[in-house]
Amino acid sequence: MTMASAPDSDATYLLYEGTQYQSYQFLGSHMEERQGMRGINFAVWAPNAKQVNVSGSFNGWDGSNHKMSMSDGVWTLFIPKLEEGTLYKYEIITLDDECYLKSDPYAFHTELRPGTASIVTSLEGYEWQDEEWLATKTSNQFLQQPLLIYEVHLGSWKRKEDGGFYTYLELADELVDYVLERGYTHIELMPLEEHPLDASWGYQVTSYFSVTSRFGSPKDFMVFVDRCHQKGIGVIMDWVPAHYCKDAHGLTRFDGTPLYEYADSRKGENPTWGTQIFDYGKPEVLSFLISNALFWMDVYHIDGLRVDAVYSILTLNFDREGGDRITNEFGGDENLEGIAFLQKLNAVVFSRYPNALMMAEDSSSYPGVTTSVDHGGLGFNYKWNLGYTWNTLEYMKKTQEERGEAEDQLTNSLLNAWEENYILPYAHDEVVHSSKSLLGKMSGDDNWQRFANLRVLYSYMIGHPGKKLLFMGNEFGQMDDWNSESALEWNLLEFEEHQQFEAFVKMMNHFYKAEKALWELDYDPSGFEAIGAEDRSDGLVMFIRKAEKTDEHLVIVCNFKTETHENYRLGVMKQGTYQEVFNSDKPEFGGSGVGNESHLMAEEFACQDRPYSITIHIPPLAAVIFKYTPSEG
């Protein structure tokens, strides 16, 4: 016996209003008890279907005896005696009498590829142990705190001897401790929603509510997040609301019509990626997407989302050829519905999770990405500074002779560092598809210069206003491009120069976390002061970073040339002692060993428009940082 049961009218009303933010609680498959019988209730939104049936492992994949009933566009059916672990799909009969087998858009678990069936799964019953982590979050914690992110692709961080994946449970033991020991504050995981193709890295999704089965079960993933939190590590997940893949079992033409995507193929398809674009003007799609964002926070305790490909959501003509351009109702290029979606997304997320991290991966110049929605912005609290990434890496590729004419490329990001709340990312896109690893991008006559260049680049990043992100492998000097089909080049750590570089990055990360001047006023111009900026050809980039306590500041000197500066006179604002507290040129890091005495007293000798100065040694291709201590009395 099967029973149909219409969903709650209030729930469906909110779905159609675009304000149903927990739609996963009644759509999808849920274990229930009806009239004393245990079973599974199935519910799916497919308003334009002629008929929808449930087919699965329990009926030989023939849904003719398990027909669903429709009310207000939502099809439902309760099937008694079915249990957790049941495999199923929806059999969609279209108005043209075509039959599609579709995975459940709200499934909590999905078969391991190449299988595509949804799996009935309960997310109840896990006992979280992260109360202390959740209690320590405050609404402004992250803007005024260190944020140092380790970006990870779980499928290629490490592999087993047979080439198999590490599981969520194994990674909870190994990866979490690795990140903790190296000083990172957060792990960012490349998309974890179920996807059919490993090579997409998770960016072309079929099941938005299913954590990928490649590494284990949903509750295994809960263990991973829980372990991160118990060790004081936050978890950020890449999230992909910009597009989805066209695989037949996914969302594309779900009920025989363009249901989740725009009906106009010019708006509904991304020609570059070969994917479908969500219809941001459809309330039910907004309910789906915003519910999904909250789902990862509600159910898996995710601390934030890095929203992928924001530029493609903001514009109607992303990667579109000139002759095929389309405009909005005002004749402009902006996707007004996409903009409204992002604003609504952030407003809702922050209303429920005021301390969430909402990060925009946005390569456009759209203004106000991190301005609040109330003030007309998109409402994110962070934006990736991709201009910083591209320009600094282009500079580091240049020879010593070329750098003299290109220093603006390195320092222009300091002029607009406060336009948004920026994150400075050296992420996966910079080290893949024959683009070379970060170490491989560094210019130099030999390995010594390449490693020294990478040390001074990282030091500059640590000193530069903005939060920080490094992709896995960059912490020990990966030599080759990142290959998602195999593990990182861990064997490199058998060589001294990679061991030294890893030691440098570890020291740098812990130094960053310990010094308030490097993060407390990241988004306040009063926390930064340039030194000697008028000379744009000497390879020296010098500035001061300040903490909220005005006497607590660091003087940062970065030398991007191979020349050593002996007895260089550096202008400072205050009398007192300046102590070298950071030097990327130390011998234990593979450097040449040029350094400074432990305490340097400021002299009353004007220099660089400052009333006092100190005399320092600046090592080649290196950064030195001095900490100020006021004079007693």
Known catalytic residues? 308, 361
> What residues does 359 pair with on adjacent strands?
306, 382
Q: List C-alpha distances in Å: 130 to 190, 226, 231, 248, 302.
A: 22, 6, 9, 39, 12
User: Which uninterrupted H or E stretch holds 259?
Assistant: none
Task: Report the SS3 class of residue 163.
Answer: coil
Q: Which residues contact 600 (CB under 8 A, 6 or more apart)?
A: 577, 578, 579, 580, 614, 615, 616, 626
DSSP summary character for residue 257: S
CB 241 within 8 A of CB 289: yes
User: What count of Cα atoms within 13 Å lies in the side-chain half-sphere of residue 82?
Assistant: 31
Structure tokens belonging to residue 157: 């961080």
- The DSSP code sequence of 424-448 is EEE-GGGGSTTS--HHHH---SSHH
> What residues does 565 pair with on adjacent strands?
618
Ordered alpha helix ranges (H), 424-520: 438-441, 447-463, 496-514
Q: 21 in the Ramachandran plot: left (φ > 0), alpha (ψ -120 to 50) or beta?
A: alpha
Locus of tokens 């290629």: 156
Task: Report the SS3 class of residue 63.
Answer: helix
Q: Which residues contact 36 (CB under 8 A, 6 or more apart)?
A: none
Closest Cα to residue 167, out of 127, 119, 227? 227
Q: Which residues contact 277 (CB under 8 A, 6 or more apart)?
A: 242, 243, 261, 262, 267, 268, 269, 270, 312
Number of Cβ within 10 Å of residue 431's Cβ equals 23
Task: Report angle CA 129, 133, 139 to the nearest 5 degrees.
Answer: 140
DSSP summary character for residue 494: G
Q: List C-alpha distances in Å: 162 to 153, 299, 590.
A: 18, 33, 35
Number of residues written out for the chain? 633
Number of Cβ within 10 Å of residue 367's Cβ equals 11
Closest Cα to residue 357, out of 131, 123, 148? 148
User: What count of Cα atoms within 13 Å lies in the side-chain half-sphere of residue 122?
Assistant: 11
